[in-house]
Amino acid sequence: MTASPEEFATTLRGGFTNPGSGLELQDIAADQWQIDWQAQALSVSITAQPAPARNLGALTLPQLNVTLTFPDTNSANRQAFLTRFHHYFHKGGG
């Protein structure tokens, strides 16, 4: 994922899990979070580890390896979460 650790955490704590979202965010560590979504009976663990930056000419883009772990979650609820996740973390493109 193209983001710095700070950008990722800001998005995660911001609009993605805002008070009206129904998502409950818990910080586990500086690079790990737990999200519970009661309406979807879903729990997800998220880890974001820095990866080597991507260099495109003079442009350097920070990279993260992001892992989402869904214990005991059915595929429909997992897909609902991923749709929301992609909506908030998508950065454009063509």
Q: Identify the domain containing residue 73 by its residue range.
A: 5-89
Is 10 inside a domain boundary?
Answer: yes
Is 54 inside a domain boundary?
Answer: yes
Is 94 inside a domain boundary?
Answer: no
Is 60 inside a domain boundary?
Answer: yes
Per-residue pLDDT band at 39 (split at 50, 70, 90): confident
What is the domain count for the chain? 1
Rounded-to-10 torsion of CA 14, 72, 68, 17: 0
What integer best gives the mean pLDDT of the chain?
A: 91
Task: State percent of the chain over pLDDT 70.
Answer: 97
pTM for the model? 0.88
Is 48 inside a domain boundary?
Answer: yes
Is 70 inside a domain boundary?
Answer: yes
Is the pLDDT reported for residue 15 higher than 70? yes
Which sign, positive or negative, has the C-alpha torsion 5, 30, 50, 71?
Answer: negative
Is the pLDDT reported for residue 53 higher than 50? yes
Per-residue pLDDT band at 93 (split at 50, 70, 90): low
At 28, which CATH number? 3.30.1370
Is 74 inside a domain boundary?
Answer: yes
Is the pLDDT reported for residue 78 higher than 60? yes
